Each structure stands twice: as structure tokens, then as C-alpha cells.
Amino acid sequence: MKALTLPDMGFLYCETVSRPNHVAAMQIFDIPIDYQGDYGEDLYQQLMQFTQIEKPFNYKLHTAYSGMMYWQEDENVDLDYHLRRVQLPQPGAREQLIEYVEHSHSNLMDRSRPLWEMHLISGLANNQFAIYLKLHHAFTDGAKANKIILSYLSPQADGPLQAFWSNKGFESKQSEPKIKAGLVDKLKQNSAIISKQVRAIPSILGLGSKLILQGVNVYKANFPTPFTSPKTPFSVSPKRARRAATSLLPLARIRNIGKIAGTTINDVVVCICDIALHRYLADLDYQLKQPLTAQIPVSLRDPNDITSNNRIAITMVELGHSNATPLPRLMAIKDACDKLKQEASLLSDEALTSYTLASQGLAVISELLKLDDVLPPVGNVLISNVPGPRKPMYMMGAKMLECFPLSALPPGMSLNITLYSYMDHLNVGLIACRTNLPDLTKISSYIEDAFSELEQVVMNTAIDIVSEQIARLTQDDGLSNSMQELIGVINDNACSTVTLNIPAPVQKDNQNSIKKQAVKVAEQAEGILD
């Protein structure tokens, strides 16, 4: 048997009927137009041929008398239970698929079996097919889930079919402790697993002191203090049933917003979510006196590590003020995220893990004691971004069109927004409590609206800067270096990574040529996001 790490056990100990701790992906495929036969049935029969279940996909849970949890090999994995065939009723609309996913995502996984399921869903309109992949969070984080997804896809349409559960590459190469009889022996064997995290506790005492001091208004820390967030409909403990919704955002245009504004893609994404949530709250006449806060996972995983289950830390960042316009909101979020990165960089991975366990543990206690009406929320929303493949991927000849991540709700919160980049888009998956957020599709729609609003504001600001400089330069006698000066203005006021094809400087007496070339520059700037 193999002992679970503290973070992995946390997702199991903190799981309740109202808050299952599994993650999922909803994938949409385009069946080849010339495909002969029943694609869903053929895929099911082909996958059922992969009867060799490799580690860790044959692991099931074993809980010792000590309370410690272990992965134990299941010698008789029922593949037909884990691989499920589903037929949607006519007309096979996207809403019907979402409804099926909502129902499946609301249910706890069977702990007496390996903690994974793959649902093959036929009957979608437009000759499409779907997969709902469900994995327990104790089994994987977002980065590892992405590796699992990619393992059964191919970059070639005619690539061979693979089953992730028959892939030996996910087995941990770490030595597994031998289990001896007796509680004392078991605890001794587990001590090595938790010792690094225990030793890390002193290194976060400074951070802990700052959090305590901030709570009594003595010290301003870069990590927002838990239980100081404003109350919202999505900042309360969830009930059992789930809502799901999706959005699509153009990745290249998101990237260009960041280039022009001098921010990261993640800053832009968080800002878009913040704008959308404020619009939703405005619909409900919520008057916020302080910014929302977002929990943001930070990956601690080595790029080549595909065997560890959870290598993440949960940090928290303060978002924009309720009355902020889009561009100042983006700049405020950029500053907050930069400070967060600086603070996190001073801590070891073990310290960040310990901070995560402590903050999430407090949230779980608050949830179990039903203190929602007594304490301020631990946070408002969890926002995560997982990078995926930029090239098309296929499964048995069918092209994957979209892949929406559907995650778990964190303690004390009823909304999770996770993004997954695939080809030219960010696939946005939203999961929420059905009781607290019955109209989740409003937020998914507002996310797309917020993107358009932010893009327009950033673009107009950039064009205004260029236009003002053009107007000044065309009245300037020293026009020989005007184009070089314009480059400097763009770089100083936007971002040095924005590259425009600036014409070479012309003679100062050729003012008409200067104007024409300046207009070209403005047109190029305006077309950056087209």
C-alpha cells in the first residue's frame, strides 16, 4: 500500500455530500462526416479492449485505524463501471449535455472503487460526441488531469487509440513504505511523508504573524486575510446540487490585451471574471464596500512530473474596487498579483503547502460549524487557469472542438471558475451551487461581455495615445525622428513587447509622408486585436 500525502488526504477528509471534491473535463468532439457506424458504440467497444489497468488507476482507498489513508491496489477493477456509455435524448442540444453533466458532477464518487470515471456521451446535435471525465481531487490536480487527458488524445487524426488507465507513465517511481502491524509502526512509517511539511511550519510563521496583525489592522500583508471578504451569493457554503456553464474567449486577443496593457494573460482573465461578477451583483442590487477576493491556485509541480497527485498551493488576491472602471481595475489586479508572486517567492514549496492546509482547514471548520452567518467569507471565488495544447487533438479520428474544465467548490464558497487553453481559445468552465446560483449562465454570459468591454477600453486607450502623439508630431518642426519618437511613446505607455511595423524616419520637410505613415501606424495599432 502507498500512503497518501497530507494535501491528498485533505481532499478526502474535507469532502461532504454537499461538497464533493472531484474535478472533471467536458470534451466536445466532431465526428468525421464520412464515419461509417455508431461512433460512440465503436469507441466504447474499442476502449473496453484495454483490460490492463495500470497504477495508479487501479488504486482504491484504504483507511487504517489510525485515520491515515492509503492507496491499495484493486485486483478486480470493474472496467464497465468506470467506462460508461450514455445516450442523450433527442434533439441532443448542448443544454441537455450540460444537464447530464450537472447531475453527474453533483454525486460523490464511490470510495470502494478507483476514483475515476469516463462517460462516453452520444446523441449530440451537429454530429458531435462528448466525454465527461471525472477524477477525484485526491487523485489529481489540474496539471496532472491535463496530462491524463492528453494521454488518450493524438495530434494526428489517424493516431492510435489509447486508454489512460493502461498507461504506465503515471505510476509513481517513489518507493512505497511497507506496512507493518501495529499503530505505532504505521505512524512511524508515515512520519517521513509529513516531516517536510511539518518542518516548513516555522518558515511561514512570519506570514502567519502578518495575517494576524492585518486582521487587527496593525499590518498590511500582501496575502489578503481569510474571513475578511465581502458577503455575496457565491461566498457561502454550497448545497449538494450543481450548476454548470461554459464560455469561450479568444486567446490571441486576450494575449494582446495583456501586451498592450503590460499585464499577464492571467491578470486579464482575473479582471474579466471580476468585471462579470460585479455586473452580476449589480443585477441583484448588491452594494460592495470592499473588493472581492479570489483564491488562485499556484502550481508547485515540476514540468516533467506526471506522477504526483496534488502539487498546488492556494493563494488569495484582492480584486478591483466595486466602482473601478475596466482599465484601472486591470491595473489594480496586476499590482495585487505582482505583490502576491513576490510574497510567494520568499516561501518554500513546503511552506506554501502548509499555508494552504492551514487556510483551507480553517474554512472547512467554519463550514462544518455552519458559521456562514457569523463570520465573513473565507473568500469569494476560486479562479484557476490550466494551459492546454495549442494544436488540434483527436480521438479515434474525431477532432476535439472544446474542452471545458469543471472543478470542485472550495470550502465556504459556491463558485469555481476554471479556464483551459486549447487551440485558439480559452475554454471557461463554471461550477456553482444550484441553490445559491441558479442563474449561473448569466455569469458565463457576462464573462464574454466583460472581455469585449475590457478589450474595447484597452484598445481605445492605446489608440488615443497614438493619436495624441501623431497630432503633436505633425506640428513639430523636428520631424526627422518622429517615427522613432512614436515607437517610444507606444513602448512607454503600452508595453515593450508590442511590436508595430514602424516605417523608417523620413525627411522633416516631407510632412505629408509623415502623416501618411503615422496613419499607417495608428491603423496597425487599431488592428492588433482584430
The pLDDT of residue 331 is 93
pTM of the model: 0.81
How wide is the angle at C-alpha 44 spanned by C-alphas 40 and 46, nearest 5°?
A: 120
Any idea which architecture 202-389+419-455 has in CATH? 2-Layer Sandwich (3.30)
The pLDDT of residue 466 is 66
The pLDDT of residue 223 is 60
The pLDDT of residue 518 is 52
Residues of the chain with pLDDT under 70: 172-226, 299-312, 347, 349, 351-361, 465-530
The pLDDT of residue 229 is 87
How many CA atoms lie within 13 Å of 12's alpha carbon, on the beta-carbon side?
26
Q: In the predicted model, what is the mean pLDDT of the chain?
A: 80
Q: Where are the domains of the chain?
A: 202-389+419-455, 459-526
The pLDDT of residue 173 is 55
The pLDDT of residue 177 is 37
Q: How many residues does the chain have?
A: 530
The pLDDT of residue 469 is 61
The pLDDT of residue 309 is 57
How wide is the angle at C-alpha 64 spanned by C-alphas 60 and 69, nearest 5°?
A: 50
**What distance in Å separates the CA atoms of residue 475 and residue 21, rounded to the nearest whole number?**
64
How wide is the angle at C-alpha 530 spanned by C-alphas 464 and 404, nearest 5°?
A: 120
Distances, alpha carbon 371 to alpha carbons 83, 140, 286, 366, 423, in Å: 40, 30, 21, 5, 43
- Give φ, ψ of 221 to 5 degrees: -95, 160
Strand partners, 293: 318
The pLDDT of residue 504 is 40
Q: What is the pLDDT of residues 8-31, one digit of tens each?
A: 888 898 899 999 999 999 999 999
The pLDDT of residue 420 is 97
**What distance in Å separates the CA atoms of residue 444 and residue 11, rounded to the nearest whole number?**
27
The pLDDT of residue 292 is 96
Strand partners, 133: 25, 118
Which DSSP letter does residue 115 get? S
The pLDDT of residue 426 is 98
